[in-house]
Structure 1
């Protein structure tokens, strides 16, 4: 019972934090799409969903809402013109009866999440509470019923599309076995977890042409020689960890976004659940959409393309991670320099190069800069429910740069992985933007 109460407390704080960012109401607050997205996030935290898988859930969960908006307005282009592989069934064109597409869109986000997430049944309560609120606010029963029918139709279409992305084939692929060879990734303490999603490169991309489209530059080769370029990179991490400022530690902790971190005390291990990197950027997208006073249609579009961008960024990054299979700083330092050394952040259970935070943050920053403009000042409150303070930024690119460097300060990435991850992420973001321009999705900033 205590665990459930704590979960509900965090959920309430998370959602109320997003609501406080709203500066203008052009439609009822209960229809703000980010409420539904945040409900998904809380279930993902409950399920300890890994970062790449979480991005997939966000991407698909928004697609039904996007289709409903597109079917009822001229403001955004058809999703099939953005996501090349997607071919809608046209079921929304056959619906009879008057429905509210905003209500249907909101319900669809919850419905797709309910069907995809392991503990998606938890979202039934959110759907029930949403319908109850609609009735209290005077929405007619026939409109509610027809809107739910539209939501279910849109959700069914997207769920059918999701089944063809190779996700259900992952368990049948060759199992990854970590190598003990020099320079290769190996499980790290304290959990020594197995590698996360080693075959993620096989998942169908949304906007990229392939997982390999945005390849990182050739990395510095592994070398234990103390005069080598690689060894110098390791020492850079090691020495920085001994001279971290309070501000650098704060940056590392703010952008931690580790879905499951373990703290040990003697023989006792305590696990802490947190938001994923993708969840952080989805929450931030919803927050700045409110700040920019975007319309419902624009907010749904922003969250949808952000979800798709995250999915492709993780596919691209994970392809590079398991292609290079590079050793983590913690493993190298413990083996060859200092057996007792520990990084500020818990090392994630997958290969080092490139930095996932660098890739997804820069891809997201490029997208949001395109949609809302550069020099967009905002205060990010995403991590407040998870024990961190707010942080303010003058642009999305500044936030991405800090997120990238936080992994170096945290001791879990070499600088090369950060800089090359930045390049890879920006390339993903620019490809996404080119697809949006070609489809006719214009920037929202005035």
Structure 2
């Protein structure tokens, strides 16, 4: 998919190309060089680094990725005959501003500017993104892009960003900041805060945030969790034992592999460590951040062009955002107790999960839902047999893991929650189903075809 620069004022063409501003060296091939998707990958990765630094919860991080990625997509689509706008396909999104007819614009550069500005609006550490963007623009200038093109492109990207920011203000996110906290009850089947920090339930009103393509947060309501029962031989306690014994396997290699899988897919943005009277935290990417990085990896492996890479980010981010809404709707409906709470009170007071339990109810598994939704979207774009090496966790001192498909990776991400001791099996299996439904609904709503997973 090729993009060209829109040169509307034909009579001025010789001036733009042959008479650069004083001291400016224009590269006649700058249009091809600025179309390298690595520029966009760098901008998205910097946003991920700031999201990690600022410690956003998984649902909030998903929202940041979604609006910033849509902004980049819409700015790029304005200059494309092939990449259609999302306006109308997302029913509540109005068309982006029309590009000025008398300006030479690099729509790739406009996409970067739009993605950057929306991302900066939604995070805390604005200066980190501002510094990065200045460095990125310095690299753009080194290519020999005319100053006027840079200015025009950034201006148009900013106009699209302002349009997306205004749209985002209507999704009820800001209002949910003032909604009531989760109320703890004495019902033993209901979620209670977990060690070590016993934090309040995160985002109990997230289902009220506006989705992109879902008709309602409960559109894909999963099967309910196993009925709670204190009876020793109940289905509930059978499920508890599966969690309790997940790492109690005789084969040491198998046990080591399960631990490796659990740690690789942990993706907990804030892990609290307590040593005596001291406390410190470890920051990591969220589940959505991990899949955004997989989108970058897939783009590079597939040698995708700029447009395909931008489309992948937008669709993956929208899928994760809708997935979090659907998942959180169920989480705070069933309000199910976590394995850590139940096992310590009823089975083994000394048991602890391998992973730190996240601060929200159990059913369904958020990582299972989001991983499957993102995998469905990436499968649609890049196929069901793209092999890749996932190095997303290398910077967090975890080794690369290899996959033969996105669906395989999503299944491993899901089962990691059992190995980590933080989810019962039904939350995982139903989470995969829910995520697949969300991902396919997004594809069909945007005009594509559903992906049939290989069971």
Does TM-score exceed 0.5, indicating one fold?
A: yes
Find 1:273's aligned residue among 283, 286, 294. Answer: 283
Q: What is the CA–CA distance in structure 1 between the aligned matches of 2:361 and 2:293, rounded to whole Å?
A: 26
Matched, 1:226 2:211: no
| Correspondence for 1:404 | 414
| Correspondence for 2:392 | 382
Indicate the SS of the match to 2:98.
helix
Structure 1: which 5+ runs fail to align? 1-24
Find 1:77's aligned residue among 58, 69, 84. Answer: 84
Matched, 1:41 2:48: yes
Find 2:194's aligned residue among 188, 192, 209. Answer: 188
| Correspondence for 1:317 | 327
The offset of 1:266, in angstroms, is 2.5
| Correspondence for 1:19 | none
The offset of 1:76, in angstroms, is 1.6
The offset of 1:172, in angstroms, is 2.8
Q: Is the 8 A contact 1:75 1:297 kept in 2?
A: no
Matched, 1:353 2:359: no
Q: Is the 8 A contact 1:95 1:150 kept in 2?
A: no
The offset of 1:94, in angstroms, is 3.9
Listed one character per residue, the Cα deviations across residues 381-415 of structure 1 (whole Å, up to 9, x for unaligned) are: 10100111000011111000000000000000001
| Correspondence for 2:274 | 264
- Which stretch of structure 1 is more off in the superposition, 297-306 or 156-165? 297-306
Q: What is the CA–CA distance in structure 2 between the aligned matches of 1:71 and 1:293, rounded to whole Å?
A: 23
The offset of 1:117, in angstroms, is 0.9
Q: What is the CA–CA distance in structure 2 between the aligned matches of 1:230 and 1:434, rounded to whole Å?
A: 37
The offset of 1:264, in angstroms, is 2.4
Q: Is the 8 A contact 2:108 2:306 kept in 1?
A: yes
Q: Is the 8 A contact 2:36 2:306 kept in 1?
A: no
Matches within 5 A, 1:193-272: 193-243=199-249, 245-272=255-282
TM-score of the superposed pair, with normalisation by structure 2: 0.88
Report the CA distance shift for 1:349/1:114 in structure 2 as closer, same or farther (over 3 A).
same
The offset of 1:63, in angstroms, is 1.5
Q: What is the CA–CA distance in structure 2 between the aligned matches of 1:277 and 1:346, rounded to whole Å?
A: 15
The offset of 1:181, in angstroms, is 1.4
The offset of 1:91, in angstroms, is 1.9
Structure showing the higher helix proportion among its residues:
1
The offset of 1:171, in angstroms, is 2.4
Q: What is the CA–CA distance in structure 1 between the aligned matches of 2:88 and 2:37, rounded to whole Å?
A: 30
Matched, 1:369 2:379: yes
| Correspondence for 2:16 | none
Indicate the SS of the match to 2:279.
strand
Report the CA distance shift for 1:56/1:95 in structure 2 as closer, same or farther (over 3 A).
farther
Structure 2: which 5+ runs fail to align? 1-31
Matched, 1:120 2:126: yes
The offset of 1:166, in angstroms, is 0.2
Find 2:168's aligned residue among 155, 162, 167. Answer: 162
| Correspondence for 1:65 | 72
Listed one character per residue, the Cα deviations across residues 280-308 of structure 1 (whole Å, up to 9, x for unaligned) are: 00011011011111111111111111111
Q: What is the CA–CA distance in structure 1 between the aligned matches of 2:356 and 2:37, rounded to whole Å?
A: 37
| Correspondence for 1:174 | 180
The offset of 1:263, in angstroms, is 2.2
Q: Is the 8 A contact 1:32 1:296 kept in 2?
A: no
Listed one character per residue, the Cα deviations across residues 136-171 of structure 1 (whole Å, up to 9, x for unaligned) are: 221111111111101110100000000000001012
Report the CA distance shift for 1:219/1:122 in structure 2 as closer, same or farther (over 3 A).
same
Find 2:315's aligned residue among 295, 305, 310. Answer: 305
Q: Which is greater in Rg?
A: 2
| Correspondence for 1:21 | none
Q: What is the CA–CA distance in structure 1 between the aligned matches of 2:176 and 2:257, rounded to whole Å?
A: 41
Query: How many residues are aligned here?
Result: 416
The offset of 1:96, in angstroms, is 3.9
Report the CA distance shift for 1:95/1:320 in structure 2 as closer, same or farther (over 3 A).
farther
